[in-house]
Amino acid sequence: MPFIITPLCVLVRSTLVASSVPRIMATRHNSYMALFKESLKSAKNVAIVTGDDISTESGVPIYGKTSFWRKYQTSTLATSGAFLTFPSLVWEFYHYRREMAVNAQPNEAHKAIALFEEKHGKDKSITVITQSIDGLHSRANTKNLIELHGSLFKTRCIKCNDVVPNNDHPICEALANKGSPDSTDTNSDIPEKLLPHCSKPSCTGLLRPDIVWYGDSIDPSVIQKAEAVISACDLCLVVGSPSLLFPAAQYAPDAMNNGAIIAEFNNEMDTNSNYHYSFVGPCSVTLPEALDV
Ligand SMILES: [Zn+2]
The region of weakest confidence among 113-122, 135-144, 166-175, 269-278 is: 269-278
Active site residue 120: no
CA of 165 to the centre of ligand 1 (A): 14
The region of weakest confidence among 39-53, 86-100, 175-189 is: 175-189
CA of 159 to the centre of ligand 1 (A): 5
Q: Please enumerate, by residue number, every residue annotated as part of a binding site for Zn(2+).
A: 157, 160, 198, 203
CB-based contacts of 291, cutoff 8 Å, min separation 6: 40, 112, 113, 115, 116
Whether the upstream peptide bond of residue 170 has omega within 30° of 0, thus cis, is yes
Q: What's CA 199's distance to the chain center, in Å?
A: 29
* Band of residue 199 on the pLDDT scale cut at 50, 70, 90: very high
Q: Residue 137, CB half-sphere, CA atoms under 13 Å: how many? A: 28
Residue 282 to residues 92, 267, 289, Cα–Cα distance (Å): 31, 5, 11
Q: Do residues 240 and 283 make contact, with C-beta atoms less than 8 angstroms apart?
A: yes
